[in-house]
Structure formats: structure tokens, C-alpha cells
Amino acid sequence: MMMFTPTTPYVPGTYAKKRPEAEKVAAQYAREWENRRQKLLQKKGAPTEIPPCICFSRKVGVGALEVADILARKLHLRVADREILEHMSIETQLDRETIKFYDELYPGKTVELSALLFGKKSFQMDDYLRNLASAVYSLATLGSTIFVGRGTHLILPRERVLAVRFICSDTFRIERLASLLNVGRDEAVKTLAKIDREQQAFFRKAFGKKDAPAVEFDLVVNFDHLGDPRLASDLVARCFRKKFGAEAE
């Protein structure tokens, strides 16, 4: 199984490592679950319950991806971040394969998910959200995965997810982004404002939500008071193992 994990040691306060290209990682994941799909289709009554997964929700800039990479090394899991999910949700060839896999394993899940997210309102899930859901389910079916962003805790079965929300003040995000990008504070403020608007627009369109209330999550980590990504990863790992027991080993 391909692991999207760091290849260099983590140095506190310096997180600018080059990540694998999303296109290459998404293509590798696609090959993995196509092999998995073929094996499942050969078995009658194959189990369709997904392994336990970890879903990170955050405002961009808090450092969730840094925690995910440290945690992936600790638990030997794959990471599917926004970039990978976006690629798998938009690329036509991958769309066809992920949707095919998703519909075969989870017939009727699209309707069920739509009803869960939008209640009894008359609503047809748009192509992007349907593609996103199929990509998320397909990756989750391969094995326990750390998902970062895109509201994945709202897509996967809640009982199979450890949902974690990372929060911090705008000051923390601004200072962190300015340092990482080596830009001035004003430029960091403008960049984060643009990213926040895009994120808010996505959640309104995809899930009809304005925010992410704490009650949606198993664990909320405030980086203003717990700023060490290694400590955060230790907490998440402990919660994951406690919640899912032997399945998380």
C-alpha cells in the first residue's frame, strides 16, 4: 500500500517539505482501489463496512496537514488531503472509475447521503459532491486513511470516523502563514481572507453549512494553547486507538 508520508525528519517550526504531486498520488491510489475492486467483485457477500478513518477539519493555516503527516508515520496510514481529493473529484478518467466502484459497493448511498446532509428538501446532489463522496468512500475502503479537509467527516459513516477539529486564532494563522511563505503580514492577511471565502463557499454549496460546530467532532484541538504538532498527533493517535481498539492497531 502506498503511504503519502514524509520522507524527511520533522523539524519543529519548519514545515516546508515538498509533498508528492497530487496527480501521481491520486493515480497510485486509483490503481490500488481498482485492484481492490476486482478482488471484491470476485467474492460474493464481501463486507462493505469501511475500516476506521481519521478526518481532520480545520481552517487553512492552522497546521493540520503537518499533524496528519506526523500521524501517518506514527500509525502507518495513508493521507488524503484536499489536493488529492480535488484531483480525484475533477479528473474525468478517475471520476468514472471512482463512481463505478462507489456505486457497486454502496448502491443507493448517494441518495442516503443526500438525505442525511439536506434532510427532506428536494435536492439533487451535484456532480462534484457525488464525485467527491465516491472518491472518499473508495479511498476509505482501501484501508484506514487520514483525510484532511473537504468535510469528509460529514460524508463517511460517523461511527467509523474519529473526527478532529483544529482551531486557532487568526493571529496564529497569519503569523504562521507569513513565516511559511516568507511574506509580510498584510500579504498573509489577504491570502487567508481569500482562502477563507473559498472554503466558506464550498461548505455552503456542498453541505448547506456556515460553520463547523464543536458538537460534530470527537476532539477539538486549540493550537493557540497546544501548538506542538507532535503532541497533537500523539493525542489523536491515542483517541483513535481508544475509540477503535484492535481495529486501529
All structural domains of the chain: 50-242 (3.40.50.300)
Q: How many CA atoms lie within 13 A of 68 on its CB side?
A: 30
Sheet arrangement for strand 145-148: 78-80, 145-148, 53-58, 161-167, 219-222
* Chain CA centroid to CA 31, Å: 19
Number of H helices, E strands in the chain: 10, 5
pLDDT given at position 172: 92
Q: What is the pLDDT of residues 32-69, one digit of tens each?
A: 656 666 666 566 555 567 899 999 999 888 989 899 99
Q: Are strands 78-80 and 145-148 parallel, antiparallel or unpaired?
A: parallel
- Rounded to 10 deg, the angle between the 82-90 and 22-41 helix axes is 70
pLDDT given at position 238: 96
Q: What is the pLDDT of residues 134-155, one digit of tens each?
A: 778 878 888 899 999 888 998 8
SS3 62: coil
Burial category of 92 from C-beta neighbours within 10 Å (exposed 0-12, middle 13-18, buried 19 and up): exposed
Q: What is the mean pLDDT of the chain?
A: 76
Residue from 211, 218, 249 nearest 236 by CA? 218
Q: Which portions of the chain are predicted below pLDDT 50?
A: 1-18, 92, 116, 118, 120-124
pLDDT given at position 103: 55
